[in-house]
């Protein structure tokens, strides 16, 4: 169409040019000008309509985009509110379940109730540990340490008093967290239950009577209660989470003091462990290898004296000396393996753990993503002996048949997870002397942490995490089954 208009305009221009040359009459010139103006108006009208259509399309698209954005925001808001109601219900029920423990702790604080004080404090510690785990899982808040501590809680411990204060407030915190969910449930139940119990129809809600108006007002009030509970759920749940975290978390100066105390204790444990290791090596050398070497020297001296008089007795003594030398060499290898296993130094942590898995009586599977990268020798040694202790515990105490070991390096930390299919029931709070507490002390030297999940019936999951950086590969290793 525009091409035809252009051709007509060109024709009109040609006619005007011809008129200027004296070839058109005045009537033809007037008609030509009227035609040019009409076509110009038509083009202007067409452009105006095109602009209006474009503006209308833009407004429609913008309105549709705003509507889609509002719909998406509404859907996200509904999802957040539903998630907050779920968290609030779980958080509130967990808080209400602490009521019996809070009552027992209240009784334990009375004069003459020393018999129940220790069980109450141990129960308080276990509940506080579970609440810290729930805070980290639901809110991503770390509220104080979750590792093993002194299994015999004392009231003089500031951490014990802090957990006791939290426990006394926990049921009320749970009630506040549960309040939005209760409002929603009560509001919705008030809409539905009358119809189910009394056979009430919607027609009766709109009767022109006091009863009908009262029912309409009550229904609207209940609906508003449900809406208010849904709207308040995110803020209330977040506030109760922060409240619990503040009660369980030590102040900053206390955290620093506890940090210094823990580092001091772990360094002292490291020094004591090193001294004990040196004494063990000295004792093993004195009682084992040294005694055999002395016996070898005596046998060789006697064989030398009997070589001329009794060659048969001399050969017997030489054979005994050869057996003693082989036994001494085997004992030396075992002693060196107990200090720093050769496979750990030569092949790295992953292959050393696989060697442990092969020696274990359980069916063991080892996976890793280290790709041959190596940690510091001291860190590898600590993890190696920790995994060795965990495999031994699984074989002796857990009644397990299978065990899985996963080595994973993320960021600047090495994480090791040991899982068995045993009976479970391992309680970190009662780990004393050796076992889990010994592993934690070993890891604490390197600022590592230990976490245990062992419900009754299993499985038992022990997680070790140590901050460390990996160096370039020295040897290659592959993931797979041991």
Query: Is residue 24, in this structure, part of any structural domain at all?
Result: yes
Given 72, 90, 111, which residue is the final one in a domain?
Answer: 72
pLDDT of residue 362: 84
DSSP-H helix ranges across 285-434:
290-306, 311-339, 342-347, 349-359, 377-396
438 φ/ψ angles, rounded to the nearest 5 degrees: -65, -40
Query: Is residue 223, in this structure, part of any structural domain at all?
Result: yes
Which residues have a Cβ under 8 Å from the Cβ of 124 and sit 6 or more positions away?
Answer: 101, 105, 153, 160, 163, 164, 167
Closest among 336, 324, 322 to 292, alpha carbons compared: 324
Count of beta carbons in the 10 Å neighbourhood of residue 170? 27
Cα 277-352-461 angle, rounded to 5 deg: 90
Read off the pTM.
0.44
User: How far is 374 from 31, CA to CA, in rounded Å?
Assistant: 96
Four-point Cα dihedral 236, 239, 240, 242, nearest 10: 160
Q: Tell me, yes or no, whether 220 and 284 share the same domain.
A: no
pLDDT of residue 210: 46
Q: Tell me, yes or no, whether 154 and 237 share the same domain.
A: yes
Residue 24 domain boundaries: 2-72
Residue 274 structure tokens? 């090193």
User: How far is 135 from 241, CA to CA, in rounded Å?
Assistant: 7
Question: CATH number for the domain including 368?
Answer: 3.30.565.10
Given 248, 263, 295, which residue is the final one in a domain?
Answer: 248
pLDDT of residue 253: 66
User: How far is 358 from 405, CA to CA, in rounded Å?
Assistant: 12
Q: Tell me, yes or no, whether 388 and 433 share the same domain.
A: yes
Query: Is residue 409, in this structure, part of any structural domain at all?
Result: yes
CA distances in angstroms from 395 to 162, 400, 401, listed in the order given: 38, 6, 8
pLDDT of residue 18: 57
Q: Tell me, yes or no, whether 234 and 104 share the same domain.
A: yes
Q: Tell me, yes or no, whether 244 and 258 share the same domain.
A: no
Q: What is the DSSP string of 268-322?
A: HHHHHHHHHHHHHHHHHIIIIIHHHHHHHHHHHHHHHHHTTT-HHHHHHHHHHHH
Q: Tell me, yes or no, whether 305 and 423 share the same domain.
A: no
Four-point Cα dihedral 159, 160, 161, 165, nearest 10: 100
Query: Is residue 85, in this structure, part of any structural domain at all?
Result: no
Query: Is residue 283, in this structure, part of any structural domain at all?
Result: yes
Rounded to 10 deg, the angle between the 117-139 and 210-248 helix axes is 110
Q: What is the pLDDT along the chain (482 residues), one digit of tens a residue?
A: 555 565 666 666 666 565 555 555 677 667 777 777 777 778 878 888 888 888 888 888 888 888 888 888 878 878 888 888 888 888 788 888 888 888 887 777 777 667 777 788 888 888 888 888 777 777 777 666 544 455 556 666 777 788 888 888 888 888 888 888 888 888 777 777 666 665 555 445 444 444 445 556 667 777 778 888 888 888 888 888 888 888 887 776 666 666 666 667 666 666 666 666 666 666 666 666 676 777 777 777 777 777 778 878 878 877 877 787 777 777 676 666 666 677 777 788 888 888 888 888 888 888 888 877 788 877 888 888 888 888 888 888 777 888 999 988 887 888 899 988 888 777 665 554 447 777 877 777 777 888 888 878 778 888 888 888 777 655 433 333 44
Residue 200, helix vs strand vs coil: coil
Q: Tell me, yes or no, whether 193 and 242 share the same domain.
A: yes
User: How far is 154 from 167, CA to CA, in rounded Å?
Assistant: 16
Q: Tell me, yes or no, whether 108 and 236 share the same domain.
A: yes
Q: Tell me, yes or no, whether 226 and 112 share the same domain.
A: yes
Question: CATH number for the domain including 332?
Answer: 1.20.5
Query: Is residue 169, in this structure, part of any structural domain at all?
Result: yes
Query: Is residue 473, in this structure, part of any structural domain at all?
Result: no
Residue 371 structure tokens? 């790709």
* Domain tally, the chain: 4
pLDDT of residue 355: 86
Which residues have a Cβ under 8 Å from the Cβ of 347 and sit 6 or more positions away?
Answer: 475, 477
Four-point Cα dihedral 280, 260, 257, 248, nearest 10: -70
Query: Is residue 429, in this structure, part of any structural domain at all?
Result: yes
Q: Tell me, yes or no, whether 162 and 215 share the same domain.
A: yes
Instruction: Could you list the beta-strand ranges (E) of 163-231.
Output: none
436 φ/ψ angles, rounded to the nearest 5 degrees: -65, -40
pLDDT of residue 197: 60
pLDDT of residue 447: 77
Instruction: Could you list the beta-strand ranges (E) of 421-457.
Output: 449-453
Q: Tell me, yes or no, whether 161 and 105 share the same domain.
A: yes
Residue 193 structure tokens? 């239950």
pLDDT of residue 272: 64
Q: Tell me, yes or no, whether 292 and 401 share the same domain.
A: no
Given 287, 317, 339, which residue is the final one in a domain?
Answer: 339
């Amino acid at each position: 169409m525009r091409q035809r208009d252009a051709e007509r305009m060109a024709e009109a221009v040609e006619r005007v040019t011809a008129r200027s040359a004296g070839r058109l009459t005045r009537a033809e010139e007037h008609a030509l000008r009227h035609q040019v103006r009409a076509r110009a108006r038509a083009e202007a009208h067409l452009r105006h309509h095109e602009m209006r259509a474009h503006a209308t399309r833009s407004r429609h698209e913008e309105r549709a985009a705003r509507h889609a954005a509002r719909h998406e925001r509404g859907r996200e808001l509904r999802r957040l509110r539903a998630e907050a109601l779920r968290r609030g219900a779980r958080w509130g029920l967990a808080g209400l379940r602490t009521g019996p423990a809070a009552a027992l702790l209240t009784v334990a604080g009375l004069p003459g109730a020393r018999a129940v004080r220790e069980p109450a404090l141990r129960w308080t510690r276990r509940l506080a540990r579970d609440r810290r785990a729930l805070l980290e899982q639901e809110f991503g808040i770390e509220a104080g340490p979750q590792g093993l501590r002194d299994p015999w809680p004392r009231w003089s411990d500031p951490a014990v008093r802090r957990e006791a204060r939290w426990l006394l407030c926990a049921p009320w915190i749970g009630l506040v967290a549960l309040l939005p969910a209760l409002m929603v449930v009560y509001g919705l139940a008030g809409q539905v239950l009358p119809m189910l119990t009394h056979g009430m129809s919607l027609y009766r809600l709109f009767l022109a009577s006091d009863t009908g108006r009262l029912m309409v007002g009550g229904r609207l009030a209940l609906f508003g209660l449900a809406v208010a509970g849904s709207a308040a759920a995110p803020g209330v749940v977040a506030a109760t989470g922060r409240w619990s975290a503040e009660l369980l978390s030590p102040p900053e100066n206390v955290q620093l003091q506890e940090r210094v105390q823990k580092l001091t204790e772990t360094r002292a444990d490291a020094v004591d462990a090193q001294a004990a290791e040196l004494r063990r090596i000295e004792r093993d050398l004195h009682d084992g290898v040294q005694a055999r070497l002395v016996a070898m020297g005596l046998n060789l001296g006697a064989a030398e004296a009997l070589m001329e008089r009794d060659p048969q007795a001399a050969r017997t003594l030489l054979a005994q000396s050869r057996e003693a030398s082989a036994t001494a060499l085997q004992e030396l290898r075992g002693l060196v393996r107990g200090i720093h296993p050769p496979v750990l130094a030569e092949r790295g942590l992953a292959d050393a753990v696989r060697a442990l898995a092969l020696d274990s009586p359980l069916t063991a599977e080892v996976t890793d993503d280290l790709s041959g990268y190596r940690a510091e020798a001291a860190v590898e040694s600590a993890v190696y002996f920790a995994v060795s202790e965990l495999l031994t515990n699984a074989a002796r105490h857990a009644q397990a048949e299978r065990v899985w070991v996963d080595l994973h390096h993320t960021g600047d930390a090495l994480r090791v997870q040991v899982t068995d299919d045993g009976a479970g029931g391992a309680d970190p709070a009662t780990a004393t002397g050796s076992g889990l507490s010994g592993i934690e002390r070993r890891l604490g030297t390197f600022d590592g942490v230990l976490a245990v999940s062992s419900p009754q019936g299993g499985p038992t999951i022990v997680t070790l995490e140590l901050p460390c950086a990996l160096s370039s590969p020295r040897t290659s290793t592959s993931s797979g089954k041991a």
